[in-house]
Amino acid sequence: MNYDLLSRLQPLAEPAYRDFHIKLVPELDAGQMLGVRMPALRALGKELAKSEDARTILDDRTPDQYYEETVVRGAVIGAAKLDFGARLHYIAAFVPYITNWALCDTFVSGLKFRKEELPAVREFLTPYLSSREEFPARFGAVMLLRFFVRADCLTDTLARLTAIPCPSYNAQMAVAWALAECLVKFPEQTLAHLKQGGLTPWTYRKTLQKALESRRLPDWLRPVLKALKKDI
C-alpha cells in the first residue's frame, strides 16, 4: 500500500469503546477491533475519497487486520466520485469482505444512487438475494431496506425479501428488519402479503416483534400484530 490507513486510525482508538462495541459484533474478537467511533470513520472515509490515495484504496484487495480499516474502505466506495458502473464494480468487489452485520449495515448506509440508477441497482442485487451465504444475503436484504421500501416497487420488494433462501441468523434478521419497516410504512399491503405465508415461523415472529418495537407503527395495527404473534 502507498497509504497508511492504520496510522490514521490508531490515534482515534478508544479501548473502552472497543470493549463495549465488540460485544455487539460476535463475529469479531478484541484483536480485530481498534475502537474508533463511527463518525470519525465516516469522516476519514470522506476525506480519503477526495485524496490522491482514493484509487489506491479502491483497488486494494489486501485483507484488513482491523474492522475499522474495512469500514473506511467501504466509506470511500460510497463517497468517491465514480460513475455508476465503476461504483457497482467496487461494491461487488467489497461484498466478499463483509463478515459481520455491523460492517454490512454501515457500508450500505453510506451508499447513494440517483433515482434513474435504481432499476439497475435492483437487478444488481439479484445474485445476493438468491445467495445462501449469510452476509451476501444480508447485504441484499439491507439494500432492499435502504433503497426499495417504496410504493412504486413495494410488491417486488416484499416478494424478494420473502424469497431470500439463506437460513442464517444475520440474513433472516435483516429480512425481518426490512419487512417490519414495510409494515410501518405500508401496513395494509405488507400485512396482506405476510398473511399469504412464505416465511419461516422464526422470521415471521421476528418481523412482528420488530414492527411492534417501532414507535412509528400505526395504532390500529399494534393489536392486530400482537394477536398474530400469539397464534404462531
Question: What does the pLDDT average to over 182-193?
Answer: 98
Specify the DSSP class assigned to residue 195: T
The per-residue pLDDT for range 35-74, each reduced to its tens digit, is 999 999 999 999 999 999 999 999 999 999 999 999 999 9
Triad 70, 50, 22: Cα angle to 5°: 20
Q: How many CB atoms are located within 10 Å of the residue 167 CB? A: 13
Question: What does the pLDDT average to over 202-224?
Answer: 97
In this prediction, residue 231 carries a pLDDT of 87
In this prediction, residue 70 carries a pLDDT of 97
pLDDT band at 1 (very low <50, low <70, confident <90, very high): very low
Specify the DSSP class assigned to residue 130: T
The per-residue pLDDT for range 131-168, each reduced to its tens digit, is 999 999 999 999 999 999 999 999 999 999 999 999 99
Give the list of residues 6+ apart from residue 217 with CB closer than 8 angstroms, or none: 183, 184, 187, 211, 225
Confidence check: pLDDT of 3 > 90: no
Measured between alpha carbons, how far is 29 from 32 in angstroms, rounded to an integer?
Answer: 6
Domain boundaries, the chain: 1-112, 125-232
Closest CA to 157 of 135, 141, 173: 141
The per-residue pLDDT for range 26-42, each reduced to its tens digit, is 999 989 999 999 999 99
In this prediction, residue 232 carries a pLDDT of 84
Percent of the chain exceeding pLDDT 90 equals 96
Triad 60, 26, 57: Cα angle to 5°: 10
Contact 201, 232 (CB under 8 A): yes
Q: Please count the CA atoms within 13 angstroms of the CA of 85 that sit on its side-chain side.
A: 0
Mean model confidence pLDDT for the chain:
96
Contact 25, 100 (CB under 8 A): yes
Contact 69, 28 (CB under 8 A): no
